Chain A
């Protein structure tokens, strides 16, 4: 079945550690890719997005993601995490064949940062 997979359900890091959250999708053809973040008690917010062009995308708060088409991946990275990055992170896809902006989400990765 077509899906979005996030490999880690819960990641625990110390402050200043580097972060990489994995995301793979199973849709062929054109895709539009997103990472959303939900901080404790807040709304889902867009962290970054890829539609076309440079496969290395920079988002807010020092996050970046790289689209690797051959690997069907869109991993999220940050070189040095802060305690304030504690949140739940969702990878998401809109398949290019979709005529509507139906976002298909992964199951999420909870990130906990130790101060």
Chain B
């Protein structure tokens, strides 16, 4: 596709439910990043992949959060047993090369998650 896409764009769920957020990176991009942005804050790193390998998950807040990218393209961020504090904008980004500081990241539109 022309850009990074994310689905759903908006998700409202009840506390205790599981949610899966999807990211489809720019075709050919090898690295994929997940960020979370709370209201009034900047995005915070969650995890990233090079191809299908998860390289760093240090930003995942607890073990209810997990991510996968099984074929090195589409990624899914799963939140189990959601809590109200999980409400945020979840952003995905992709980049054309593996890790390296000059590697530009292109962001998707985000998924706005609201946990009631």
What is the interface residue range for chain B against chain A?
20 to 34
B99 contacts A101, C-beta separation under 8 Å: yes
Chain B, interface SS category? loop
Question: Contact check: which of B4, B44, B101, B106 meets A105 at CB < 8 Å?
Answer: B44
Chain A, interface SS category? loop
With a cutoff of 8 Å between Cβ atoms, the chain B residues found around residue A32 in the complex are 101-102
Q: Does B31 make an interface contact (CB < 8 A)? A: yes
With a cutoff of 8 Å between Cβ atoms, the chain A residues found around residue B42 in the complex are 4, 90, 92, 105-108
B1-18 toward A: CB 8 Å interface, digit per residue (1/0)?
Answer: 001100000000000000
Q: Does B76 make an interface contact (CB < 8 A)? A: no
Using a CB–CB distance below 8 Å, which chain A residues touch chain B?
4, 9, 30, 32, 36, 42-46, 49, 51, 90, 92, 94, 96, 98-108
